[in-house]
Structure 1
Amino acid sequence: MRMWRWLAVLGLMALAQGAAAGTVLIVGDSISAGFGLDTSRGWVALLEQRLHARKPQSSVVNASITGDTSANALARLPALLAQHSPQLVVLELGGNDGLRGQPPAQLQQNLSQMIDSARASGAKVLLLGMRLPPNYGPRYTQAFAQVFTQVADDKKVPTVPFMLEGVGGVPALMQADGIHPNQAAQQRLLDNVWPALEPLL
């Protein structure tokens, strides 16, 4: 009987350690997928290294896909939540919606639904904000940027107002297309995200 009790205690300890460590699920587009980069040195890989140094049992699942829109990500999120049971979901989306000129209201609805789904699964959520180049016109770029502020306020989720702060528009930190951060920018991206992400772990 004592042996069974001891095994039960060990099992509970293992479960507690697993829950404490948790899984961070990144659902994003090319910025997090590491388009044009050595993905082992992208910001998500750097995040994984930092987490492992602090919480060796933690894990990071990068479910980002280059070219993904918020609608694409919304459709595949339920399967990701069921498969990985994340402690934290990081949403890095919207850039492709904006570059395609899709309605900001649709982006807002998709992000809101994703937050609801993630929370229903028991996960916390971090929303990473994005902005568009000025050539899309002030009316559209302002409406697009406002989506992230509005969603964060409505859903009471922590947010990084602009993930590419200090990177976007800086030629030395951008690839030749002027859209995707280069290798030198990846540490800065992690540093932009980390202050909002760390308290959620």
Structure 2
Amino acid sequence: MSKMLVVFVMLFIALPVRAETPVIVILGDSISAAYGFEQAQGWAVILQDKLKQAQLPHHIVNESISGETSAGGLARLDKILSAHHPAYVLVELGANDGLRGLSPLAMKANLTEIIARSRKAGANAMLLGMKIPPNYGKAYIEKFYQVYPELAKELAVPLVPFILEHVALKPELMQADGLHPNARAQPFIADTIASYLFPLLKAETR
């Protein structure tokens, strides 16, 4: 082996190994898919900018589809996990289950399996809670909404109680259908999620 080659090999071994950029997958519906406006205005893109400002190395991959249910998200999950090997999965699903009057028990089972499979693949999960309009009846609404805190407690998973907390009751931040936030609402949604997510990410990078 030549002296030059020996020097090259020694330098190569001495070089620090660059860690792979951790990926955050968003598994959501129209609330996360920038329904009704440009993708670049969506909260996922804004959250990516906030990660950069906070000097956090994570890269966001948005796998959200308008109209998605918890069952649909579960059906797509294995392929998504295999493709991206995420460090985190932000689960923003359930609203369409509620709007279609589907079983909260089935929704809970789907979300439970999403969290279990994410963890099995080495990813942490975070639930992004949603609410549905009051015209669905008090009993159904309570059963629906309780799915999120129950899962958070039972599975010890972080929860954002309601990602439209500072948006839903402000007409100027909602689209005409009264269900979807508009482009002006997206920074507020990003701020809400960041307030729960970033402390976890910063604790991991210390």
When the two structures are superposed, what TM-score results if normalisation uses the length of structure 2? 0.91
Counterpart CA distance in 2 for 1:138 and 1:170 is: 22
The yes-or-no answer on 1:13 pairing with 2:20 is no
Alpha carbons 1:126, 1:196 under 8 Å: kept: no
Counterpart CA distance in 2 for 1:5 and 1:114 is: 45
Paired amino acid for 2:119: R
**Displacement of 1:39 after TM fit?**
1.3
> After the TM superposition, which of the residue ranges 84-93 and 46-55 deviates more from structure 2?
46-55
Counterparts of residues 1-201 of structure 1 (less than 5 Å): 1-10=6-15, 12-14=16-18, 16=19, 18=20, 21-55=21-55, 57-201=57-201
Counterpart CA distance in 2 for 1:8 and 1:84 is: 28
Structure 1: which 4+ aligned runs deviate by more than 4 Å? none
Alpha carbons 1:98, 1:144 under 8 Å: kept: yes
**Displacement of 1:113 after TM fit?**
0.3
Q: Once the two structures are aligned, what percentage of the paired residues are identical?
A: 43
Structure 1: runs of 5 or more not aligned: none
Paired amino acid for 1:127: L
Counterpart CA distance in 1 for 2:200 and 2:121 is: 16
Paired amino acid for 1:8: I
**Displacement of 1:2 after TM fit?**
4.9
Q: 1:172 to 1:81 in 2, by over 3 A?
A: same
Counterpart CA distance in 1 for 2:60 and 2:17 is: 22
Counterpart CA distance in 1 for 2:66 and 2:51 is: 24
Per-residue deviation, residues 71-109 of structure 1 (Å, max 9, x unmatched): 000010011001001111100000000000000000100
Counterpart CA distance in 2 for 1:83 and 1:100 is: 30
Counterpart CA distance in 2 for 1:84 and 1:58 is: 12
Counterpart CA distance in 2 for 1:104 and 1:75 is: 18
**Displacement of 1:174 after TM fit?**
0.4
Per-residue deviation, residues 134-183 of structure 1 (Å, max 9, x unmatched): 11110001100000011111110000011110211321110000000011
Per-residue deviation, residues 4-42 of structure 1 (Å, max 9, x unmatched): 2432343x521x2x2xx4111000000000100111011
Counterpart CA distance in 2 for 1:195 and 1:65 is: 24
When the two structures are superposed, what TM-score results if normalisation uses the length of structure 1? 0.93
> After the TM superposition, which of the residue ranges 77-86 and 161-170 deviates more from structure 2?
161-170
